[in-house]
Amino acid sequence: MQKKKVSAVTSYNKWGYFFLIPFIVIFLIFQLIPLVSTVYYSFFENYRSGLKQIGPNFVGLGNYAKLLSQKHFLTYFKNTMIMWVMGFVPQIIVSLILGAWFTDPSLRLKGQRFFKTVIYLPNLIMASAFAMLFFALFADSGPVNSILINVGILEKPYKFMSHVWSVRGLVAFMNFLMWFGNTTILLMAGMLGIDSSLFEAAQVDGATATQIFFQITLPLLRPILVYVMVTSLIGGLQMFDVPQILTNGTGDPMSSSMTLIMFLNKHLFSKNYGMAGALSVILLIITGILSMIIFKTTAQNEVK
């Protein structure tokens, strides 16, 4: 009797495996196999010259050595990080403030739902369309320049696309605009998950709003904050569409807005699969290391 029951349970449990099949198959075909083959191909010289295929010839770590010995690889990494930080810092600050306001019942904000919709809207637009729009807005004879000239702030058009910091600033601003709504909603979810009795207790004890925010909200929000930071970092390292479209793929001026993925795209465009594979693997390692650092530094207190 007992034996029979166990076997009934196991045979029932086998359905669990059936339900896992779709995920496993898709994971294998679209994630694991490409991942392994990318690593594999990164050890080969494999590109096309004109209509002739060169390779694949095994070159060991040749592609990696070549990539790391070029100093522009570091420059592109630096560009990516600079533009990410420029966009992320204002993004997290604005999102925290908005999240705190939206979740604070004592403020009784009107039209909350409307504003929550509006701040999320930029994220619904395709990044490339958004970049195209900014490209037109900030063109030398675009609307922004003509407004600034008509108002009398500028005498002649400012070439937004020809100055290092204006291009980087625009990229960061666009990323900020596209993602602060999303971050706000994530942080709000985290804040609503905090036990409201804690806030009430603090209020009874006479804590100010600032004290509540720094002493209660922020520490209890840490898991969500870590999540937001790590996902944003990964997204930031993969920054591509906005600078690509805004600078027409050049990353100009002088490659100061060229990101790592734009560089990867250039290799892929010339069918240089070996080099592109090596670059992807390096990117994977960098992402892993940076994510570990964030985890280690922000999760320290909890371990204690």
Partner 1 sequence: MKKRWLAIGLTAAMITSMAACGGSSSTASKAESKPAESAATESKPAAESKAATESKTESKPAAAGDEGKVLNVEVWNDEFINRVTDHYPGYEKVSDTEGKIGDVKVNWIITANQDNAYQNNLDEALAAQADAAADKKVDIFLVEADYALKYVDADADVAMPLKDLGITDADLSKQFSYTQDVVKDANGDLRGSSWQACSAGMIYRRDVAQEVFGVSEPADVQELFKDWDAYKAAAAKLKEKGYKVTASANDTYRVYSNNVSGKWVQDGKVVVDENIKKWVDDSMELVKAEETGTFDLWSDDWAKGFFQDPDGKVFAYFGPAWLINFSMHADEDGSVGKAGGWALTTGPQGFYWGGTWICAAQGTDNPTLVKDIILTMTTDDAVMKDIAVKDSDCVNNKDVLKDLASDTSFGNAILGGQNPYEMLAAGAELVDMSNISIYDQGCNEEFQKAMKNYFEGNAASYEDALAEFEKNIKVKYPELA
The yes or no reply on residue 133 touching partner 1 (CB under 8 A) is: yes
- How many positions of this chain bind partner 1 (CB under 8 A)? 46
The yes or no reply on residue 61 touching partner 1 (CB under 8 A) is: no
Which part of the chain contacts partner 1 (CB under 8 A), choosing from 94-102, 126-134, 206-214, 295-303?
A: 126-134
Q: Are 43 and 61 in contact (CB under 8 A)?
A: yes
| SS3 at position 262 | helix
Phi and psi for 195 in degrees, rounded to 5? -60, 120
- Using CB under 8 A, pick the residue from 72, 192, 288, 296 that binds partner 1: 72
- Using CB under 8 A, pick the residue from 27, 89, 159, 299 that binds partner 1: 159
Which part of the chain contacts partner 1 (CB under 8 A), choosing from 12-20, 65-73, 185-193, 289-297?
A: 65-73
The yes or no reply on residue 78 touching partner 1 (CB under 8 A) is: no
Nearest by Cα to 290 from 85, 4, 12, 69: 85
Subset of 160-219 contacting partner 1 (CB under 8 A): 162-164
The yes or no reply on residue 57 touching partner 1 (CB under 8 A) is: no
Site string for partner 1, 10-39 (x = CB under 8 A): ------------------------------
Contacts of 287 (CB under 8 A, 6+ apart): 233, 234, 237
Q: Are 42 and 281 in contact (CB under 8 A)?
A: yes
| SS3 at position 49 | strand
The yes or no reply on residue 54 touching partner 1 (CB under 8 A) is: yes
Which part of the chain contacts partner 1 (CB under 8 A), choosing from 94-102, 106-114, 188-196, 212-220?
A: 106-114
CA torsion sign, 289 to 223 to 35 to 242? negative
The yes or no reply on residue 58 touching partner 1 (CB under 8 A) is: no
Nearer to partner 1, 35 or 136 (CB): 136
Structure tokens at 56: 């694949």
| SS3 at position 192 | helix
Q: Are 76 and 267 in contact (CB under 8 A)?
A: no
Please state, in angstroms and rounded to a whole number, the distance separating the CA atoms of residues 257 and 43: 29
| 52-60 CB contacts, 8 Å cutoff, 24+ apart | 55/274, 56/273, 56/274, 59/274
The yes or no reply on residue 140 touching partner 1 (CB under 8 A) is: yes
Binding site for partner 1 (CB under 8 A): 47-52, 54, 66, 70, 72, 111, 113-114, 117-118, 121, 125, 129, 132-133, 135-137, 139-141, 159, 162-164, 248-250, 252-256, 263, 266-267, 269-272, 275
